[in-house]
Each structure stands twice: as C-alpha cells, then as structure tokens.
Amino acid sequence: MTIPSLLDPQLAPLFVGAPGPSFSTEILPTLRKAMAGSPIEGAGLEVVERHVHRADNTALRLVIIRPEGVSGLLPVVLHCHPGGWILGTPETSGSTLIEIAKNSKCVIVSVDYRLAPESPFPAAHDDALIALRWIRSNAGDLQIDADRVILAGESAGASIVAGLALRCRDESENQGIVALSLVYPAIDDRTTKLPPHPYAGTIGLGLDQMRFAWASYLGESQADDISPYAAPGRAERLSDLPPVFLALGAMDPFIDENLDFAKRLIREGVATTLHIFAGAPHGFDRLERAQVTMQLRRLRNDHLKRCIEQ
C-alpha cells in the first residue's frame, strides 16, 4: 500500500502537494507571524485577557473564554496551544477553544506561554503552573469550580499539560484536576533517535522538524538529565494521574510513543481513553470540515463531560 493511499481522502486538500514544515532559527520569526492566529471571537462568548506577573516581573498573558448565558460555577479547561514549543499563541487554537467552550460549557483559560529556543524548558512548563495556581486563587472572581479542572492541549501543548499533571501529582497540587485531554502529544524526545517510521511522519510533520523542536525546547539539557516534566514518556511512574483522553492519527510521527504511553497508563491503573484515526497525519484537525476532525471534537467533548459530571 502506498503512502498517499493511506491518507484520509478528506485530508488531501491540507496535505497533498503541501511542502513539509521547515524549521530553522532564521525562519522562526516568519513562521511565528504566520501562526499567530486571529483574535478569538464568537457569538455567545465572552473573551478577555488577563496578565499575571511572574517572579521576574514579566507578565504571562492568559486568554479567557466563557460561554454567555450559563449560570453557576463552570468547570475550567487550562489549555496550552500547539506549535512545537517554538510557535503559536492561544489564538492559534481559536476554533478549537471556541468549540470546546460552546459544546462543553466550560471556561477556557489558554496560556500564552514562553517559546523556545529563547526560553527553553522549564519556561513553558512553569507558565502553565503559574496559570493553574492563578486559576485556583481567582476561582471566585472567575465564577469557576476549582474542583473541576481539565488540563488540555495539542501537540507540544499536550506535552506541557502532561508534564504539569505529573508535577502536580508529585508535589501534591493535583486537587481538583479531573481530566487530562491530550491530542497528538509529543511525549518522548528519545524517539527522535530511532529509525523513522515507514508510514507515520511521511506526510506533514517529520523527523527533522521533530528533532529541531525537541532540541529547541530542551536547550542545554543532556540525555541523562532530561526531566519527565519536559518529556512525560520518561516518567518512571504514571500512576495516580487523572483520567486521560489520548487521540492522534495513525500517520502521526508520535504514534509509537503514544501507544507505548497509553499501554503504560493502562497498566498502572489510569483510566485511559485512546483513539487512533486512520489516515490522519499530525495536525489533521486544522481541516475543520473533515469528518475525522468532527469525530475528534465530539469524542473529546464527550470525555470532558463524563469527567466533569462524575
């Protein structure tokens, strides 16, 4: 079977004939501008920004999306956007965040975390923790239920929130975290040193881009001292995590590490929901009208609702 025949036909407009992403330090400013996204807005939504001061007196920007006309304390989704730790803003995920806010009746707090290579790990990880602590400290003003927090992200953002869940567990800050929602996460840097997959990663994001992104994020870290909060697949223990939703395409270069991660989660007693979408490369949900994207969104929202209502 040839590689093009494996691709979901509905995703062909996004991937067939499109050049693979080219990452380099020189091109990052151009890529960041292209991936910045547009202001988030939508009927029935309230969108505001808040700025939280870090210890060094710089400000962390948070984008908060709240559905209008919904009374009572709402669950909150702490979200980290995709972009290989080197690109993106909350606005990059605008359509995803709007869809979650409307269909899951949650408040979304999306983190405009610091980007590598200028700010390698633990900068983005620390920003996510700052955001979580800010949410808990301001739950009353935000009209949210701090006992119903979902950590969610895509790609690099999913890796960040997975690492955050591990840290919160280890430091006894996991109170109120009811779900971990991971869409095609980058889990383990060690896979960049393995031979390439014969099919996954041959369309769209590939091995060279993964190596650049991981090197940018990990900075000067050496192979023997990389934190599992940066690469969650390195964690020695995955038990005592909240229920996990894990979804990605069968043509995603992260497929093998995610399957290994899911097997470990299940073996260590973590309630794990795993979805693999045939014919889908990394980032397939950028094509919103594709059936596979709509299926992903429906399944993710169903999982969020189940975890919220327990």
Q: Which of 127, 145, 252, 285 is catalytic?
A: 252
Which burial class, exposed, middle or buried, applies to 224 when counting CB atoms under 10 A from its CB (0-12, 13-18, 19+)? exposed
Residue 290 has pLDDT above 80, yes or no: yes
269 within some domain? yes
* In-domain check, residue 29: no
Query: Catalytic residue at 282?
Result: yes
Per-residue model confidence (pLDDT) at position 298: 97
Beta bridge mates, 116: none
Distances (CA, A) of 191 to 4, 26, 234, 251: 24, 25, 11, 15
Is the residue at 225 inside a domain? no
If pLDDT is split at 50, 70 and 90, which confidence band does 3 have?
low
Mean pLDDT of the chain: 94
For residue 201, pLDDT over 90 is answered with no
Residue 223 has pLDDT above 90, yes or no: no
In this structure, is residue 156 part of a structural domain?
yes
Would you say residue 2 has pLDDT above 70?
Answer: no
Residue of 159, 282, 285, 303 marked catalytic: 282
Overall number of domains in the chain: 1
Query: pLDDT (tens digit, 9 = 90+) per residue, 12-52?
Result: 999 998 776 788 889 999 999 988 889 998 889 999 999 99
Any domain includes 270: yes
Average pLDDT over residues 279-304: 96
Domain assignment present for residue 35? The answer is: no
Per the domain annotation, does 32 fall within a domain? no
Q: Concatenated DSSP letters for 208-238?
A: HHHHHHHHHHHTT--TTS--TTTSGGG-S--
- How does pLDDT run across 55-92, given as a tens digit for each residue? 999 999 999 999 998 888 999 999 999 999 999 999 99
| Per-residue confidence (pLDDT) for residue 18, from 0 to 100 | 77
93, 104, 110, 155: the active-site residue = 155
The residue range of the domain holding 205 is 3-17+41-220+244-309
Q: Can you read off the two tokens belonging to residue 249? A: 């395409």
Whether the pLDDT of residue 5 is over 90: the answer is no
Within a domain: 134 = yes
Q: Are 264 and 162 in contact (CB under 8 A)?
A: no
pLDDT tens sequence across 161-190: 999 999 999 999 999 999 999 999 999 999
CATH of the domain at 93: 3.40.50.1820
- Average pLDDT (105-119) is 96
